[in-house]
Structure 1
Amino acid sequence: MMKPLAYRMRPKKIEDIVGQQHLIGPGKIIRRMVDARLLSSMILYGPPGTGKTSIASAIAGSTQYAFRSLNAATDSKKDLEVVVEEAKMSGTVILLLDEIHRLTKPKQDFLLPHLESGKIILIGATTENPYISINPAIRSRTQIFEVKPLTEENVKQAILRALKDTENGLGSLPITLTDDALLHLTRVTHGDLRSALNGLELAAKSTPPSTNGEILLTLKIIEECVQRKALVHDKNGDAHYDVISAFQKSIRGSDANAALHYMARLIEAGDLPSINRRLLTIAYEDIGLANPQAAARTVSAVTAAEKIGLPEARIPLAVAVIDLCLSSKSNSAIVAIDSAITDIQKGDYGEIPNYLRDAHYKGAADLNRGVGYKYPHDYAHDWVKQQYLPNKIKNAHYYQPKENGRYEKELKERYLGLKNAQIPH
């Protein structure tokens, strides 16, 4: 039985991994482990199709260790015992344990001593946040690395590699993938390389050759094979981002009808991830402190949309869009944090006052750390006049409150009152 293209194209060594340069690039943590052959157990977490299994496979290939793959949800303790016995007989084994967040306590208790002995190098893979979903006993024995969504360029690179590879890819087939079809395939899969390669293989294997023997993969064919429509058949590939831009600007401009129109385009394209990401950004960037409850309601709407999926997801999303459009607006929070970041990037900051520094270690008092700190809860109204910014920027004011909503009006009054109370009289 022919294995799927995504499986066949799995990297054999760490240099072949697409993306994840923050982990496997020169000088980065996993590359250092591989180069030094000093591997430790780890948990890789991130969205589906972003390379968690590929990293594990490439580590094994680069280090020449035996590689075994199990699923914590479906494979039994007996399967784990087989891997451990192999490690005892032949040396270190790298074990990829998918869905590690579903590892039961009996399986965990069996694995722990073998992780500590180093016979098993565990690479756990999960789409769940390991700090929440994985037992502390496992977490304490592993390093945790976030695997980030692949960029469109990463996915394009992998697709072109698969089209050229004659051994494991589709290089032996006379395929021509049109530019707009390639663009759609890289974009619509949202960084899920597995989905992109599966869609490409289905298109290639199900499209009959033309009279000259060419397998021509057009945008229409790719749309059908990935079940996602292109927003517009544009040559420059800008339509996708144009719609998203118009979507955010319509909400910022309080035009509910325009915002619903542009979201409808995204819904028709099946682009739920872009809608969800953009709504969350808008809620905090454009509405912000003028109406924090609208942001909280947006989070709830996006969570509901993710759980029920399209087409029903359109309902909570429409509620959120109308809510955000008709809400008061304020960008004071993003302006404030960007202003603070600008100062940091310019090097425009000073030393932290000694009385604010950590004083929880032996000898801290000898260094004057924490000495003179005024604990606000010891004072009336749980507040005391005290300088918190470094001397160099002690008069910096990043937050400039607005009055576009009742909540931020109240914040402004309190903010100005506290600021005035800090001024020496």
Structure 2
Amino acid sequence: MNQPLAFRMRPTNIDQIVGQQHLVGEGKIIRRMVEAKMLSSMILYGPPGIGKTSIASAIAGSTQFAFRTLNAATDSKKDLQIVVEEAKMSGTVILLLDEVHRLDKPKQDFLLPHLENGRVIMIGATTENPYITINPAIRSRTQIFELKPLQIEEIESALERAIKDSDKGLGSLTIEISLEAMLHFARATNGDVRSSLNGLELAVRSTKPNQDGVIVITLEIAEECLQRKALTHDKDGDAHYDVISALQKSVRGSDVNAALHYMGRLVEAGDLPIIARRLMVIAYEDIGLANPAAAARTVTAVQAAEKLGFPEARIPLANAVVDLCLSPKSNSTYVAIDAALSDIRAGKSGDVPDHLKDSHYSGAKELGRGVDYKYPHSFPGAWVNQQYLPDKLKNAVYFEPNHTGKYEDSLARQYDTINKMKKKS
């Protein structure tokens, strides 16, 4: 078996694809195309090692069409001509064209008519945003699909399948792999399942069996084969969650250096989804109305990080961490919604007042629905005093603004004005 494990384990049908369920799951677009036998040329884009080639291979295997692979940067127009000639003979060829964003004009002009007549079904693969880097003539003849970074659990499932597969994988060997080592193979490659599989194979092939013929893969071996240290974890992963907690508390406490340190540890562990989720939680829980623009910038930074993947993702994430650390802090909305939920969970709710109930149906008026509702826009300042909360809670107060800066101060002034008008009415 001279071919790498990742190559051997490429899926031969769409059911074997790891992740990307938004495209290949039941009822999703690529599965629908395959099942209906109505394939069209497409461009798949996303970080390396997350399934672009696998999807192309699975589509070809599911349709029984010939499958060829070329690289837009290094293969010539003559190579494309060979594929087209084969398509003329066999009817249809699926062409995986890697680095499709580097397709030059002569190759593009040659390929376009064959894409149009469906003789060649091109699956272009790129790590670049095709809306920016790919010629409009190609874009207009393809469907564009974005692949998502693989979750740790998805990579673990691919590793487990490779360990058990006796035909193409490592199933003919007796392998014992620790939970920590398996987690490290899944985490440390930053969502790149190809690197995870090849790291696993190196570990297995380079480790001598023990006296019982068992190949034992420890965390230390996994670290050596991936050339990346693991974040310290105990059996239940508590240390990992301690780092996540420390990140949020450091940002909340405005300690930039500590926050960067803890985020750095999560970056080293390859936990992009966890970092992204935690930063967005922090933005709305701890900064909130004190600096809404920082929350918006955090969402933008997270989106950029997810598109870039590691190692570049660390840059927009670091921007967000520094921004959040040095922003004024407010948890007023977080406290307010939890106070409202506390009442609801304690059974303090009651009926919606009749004047607020839906009145857009026949007979609503006879039931008193919406009859006495006052439309605020019909009154000066678009405000009129009327009861909105149920009777049981009509005097409840949940939101207490914090005076953290211009934005929340302006909301506090408006809130105070409305409360004073209520008392006068």
TM more than 0.5: yes
Which stretch shows the higher mean deviation, 53-62 or 229-238? 229-238
Work out the CA distance in 2 between the residues paired with 1:159 and 1:14.
18
Show the counterpart of 2:196: 196
One-letter amino acid of the structure 2 residue matched with residue 248 of structure 1: Q
Show the counterpart of 1:130: 130
Q: Which runs of 5+ in 1 are unaligned?
A: 340-347, 353-383, 386-398, 418-425
**8 Å contact 1:247–1:258 — kept in the other structure?**
yes
Deviation of 1:302 after TM superposition, in Å, equals 11
SS of corresponding position for 2:62: helix
Deviation of 1:184 after TM superposition, in Å, equals 2.1
Show the counterpart of 2:2: 2
Q: Percent identity?
A: 69
Work out the CA distance in 1 between the residues paired with 2:16 and 2:235.
31
Show the counterpart of 1:367: none
Deviation of 1:400 after TM superposition, in Å, equals 9.8
Show the counterpart of 1:422: none
Q: TM-score, length-normalised on structure 2?
A: 0.73
RMSD between superposed Cα atoms in Å: 4.3
Deviation by residue 1:276-296 (Cα, 9 ceiling, x = unmatched): 775466456643553366568
Work out the CA distance in 1 between the residues paired with 2:302 and 2:150.
26
Work out the CA distance in 2 between the residues paired with 1:278 and 1:153.
19
Deviation of 1:329 after TM superposition, in Å, equals 2.4
Deviation of 1:149 after TM superposition, in Å, equals 1.8
- Change in Cα spacing, 1:205 to 1:350, as seen in structure 2 (3 Å) is farther
Deviation of 1:197 after TM superposition, in Å, equals 0.4
- Change in Cα spacing, 1:17 to 1:320, as seen in structure 2 (3 Å) is closer
Q: Which runs of 5+ in 2 are unaligned?
A: 341-355, 361-380, 383-398, 418-425
**8 Å contact 2:301–2:320 — kept in the other structure?**
no
Show the counterpart of 2:82: 82
Which stretch shows the higher mean deviation, 405-414 or 82-91? 405-414
Query: If you compute each CA radius of gyration, which structure gives the higher value, 1 or 2?
Result: 2
One-letter amino acid of the structure 2 residue matched with residue 47 of structure 1: P
Within-5 A mapping of 1:259-278: 259-266=259-266, 269=269, 275=275, 278=278
Work out the CA distance in 2 between the residues paired with 1:292 and 1:250.
19
Show the counterpart of 1:169: 169
One-letter amino acid of the structure 1 residue matched with residue 140 of structure 2: S
Deviation of 1:22 after TM superposition, in Å, equals 2.0
User: Is 1:214 the equivalent of 2:214?
Assistant: yes
Work out the CA distance in 2 between the residues paired with 1:31 and 1:291.
43
Show the counterpart of 2:421: none
Work out the CA distance in 2 between the residues paired with 1:129 and 1:400.
44
User: Is 1:236 the equivalent of 2:222?
Assistant: no
- Change in Cα spacing, 1:84 to 1:189, as seen in structure 2 (3 Å) is same
- Change in Cα spacing, 1:14 to 1:268, as seen in structure 2 (3 Å) is closer
Work out the CA distance in 2 between the residues paired with 1:235 and 1:100.
44
Show the counterpart of 2:178: 178
- Change in Cα spacing, 1:127 to 1:322, as seen in structure 2 (3 Å) is closer
Work out the CA distance in 1 between the residues paired with 2:400 and 2:109.
54
Deviation by residue 1:276-334 (Cα, 9 ceiling, x = unmatched): 77546645664355336656887789979x999879x69x9777645422321246899
Deviation of 1:241 after TM superposition, in Å, equals 3.4
Show the counterpart of 1:345: none
One-letter amino acid of the structure 2 residue matched with residue 36 of structure 1: A
